[in-house]
Amino acid sequence: MDASDLKVFEAVARHGSMNRAAAELNTVQSNVTARVRALELELGVLLFQRHARGVKVTPAGRRMLPFSARISRLLSEAKAAARDDGVPSGVLEIGTLETTAALRLPSILASFAKAYPKVRPVVRPGSTCGLIEDVVECRLEGAFVVGPVDHPDLQQESVFREELVLVTPRSIRGIEDLSSISELKTIVFRVGCSYRQRLDDLLNKAGILVAQPLEFGSIEAILGCVAAGVGITLLPKGIVAAAWRDGQVAVHELDPEFAEVETVFIRRTDAYVSSALSAFLQFVRPDTELRVAAE
């Protein structure tokens, strides 16, 4: 078993298909199948269950996956470290909350790109739970999530503070009006979003019952539904400022228990910090002078 075997194994597990794994690895399916069978013979266990639509990882395969990811990460970091001469360059993959991407990152990325044109940032949106998993599994170098984060493999630093507000149709005068609405709906991001959980906690504390939440993947869709009177949501005040100012929605301030939220940047404690990531963090950290200097 060598690193290339593990790369094939990980690709098949991720895609659930020998054929799609072969396409990613720029080889033929028969080669992938042969490599997987040879690995299974060497280990003396089945790593995949074959079925008509592809393959499914066996319990033995699931136990091996973390080691495969860890070894692949170490090899990738070794190559990156050898090639990193201290000048920020190459691809920088980071994750972010949708709200952080809309509210905080545009000016930061613009200044960073101007200062370091050889770096190509790739920003992937997601929920706090999903982004934590992506960083732990080394699919991202780091991510902006709602803190605090308690994970043994991660380190975090506080970068932004947001004020959350309850966003409702204009007809709602305050949170006390919500209890009189039959089948009240919340308009939220998918499961794993910290703002969604906080909204649930807020309504539960107030004794307000809600119907099945409506899930959307963009801020624009959520605000559009609230403006149309479909339901309510919880978002950073800065995100809803324009819609509020234009009279599309009503905004209700909350007690600090629910309003104050901290955005942190997380990365693996044991991961290699590239020159690109190190430079980017200088633009992200509070009170940095680099953004001003780059503008």
Kindly report, residue by residue over 124-177, the tens digit of the pLDDT: 999 999 999 999 988 899 999 999 999 999 999 999 999 999 999 999 998 889
CB atoms within 10 A of CB 6: 20
Phi-psi region of 81 (alpha: psi -120 to 50; beta: other; left: phi over 0): alpha
Return the CATH class of domain 162-260.
Answer: alpha beta
Q: Which of 294, 274, 290, 285 is nearest to 86 (CA)?
A: 274
Contact 271, 92 (CB under 8 A): no
Cα 109 from Cα 94, distance rounded (Å): 12
Ranges of each domain in the chain: 3-82, 88-161+262-294, 162-260
Kindly report, residue by residue over 42-51, the tens digit of the pLDDT: 999 999 999 8
Instruction: Give 76's contacts (C-beta < 8 A, 6+ positions apart).
Output: 138
Cα 23 from Cα 37, distance rounded (Å): 18
As a CATH number, domain 3-82 is 1.10.10.10
Kindly report, residue by residue over 54-110, the tens digit of the pLDDT: 899 999 999 998 888 778 777 877 877 887 888 999 999 999 999 999 999 999 999
Domain 3-82 shares a fold with domain 88-161+262-294: no
Residue 266: beta bridge partners? 143, 156
As a CATH number, domain 88-161+262-294 is 3.40.190.10
Kindly report, residue by residue over 236-262, the tens digit of the pLDDT: 999 999 999 999 999 999 999 999 999
Kindly report, residue by residue over 197-207, the tens digit of the pLDDT: 999 999 999 99
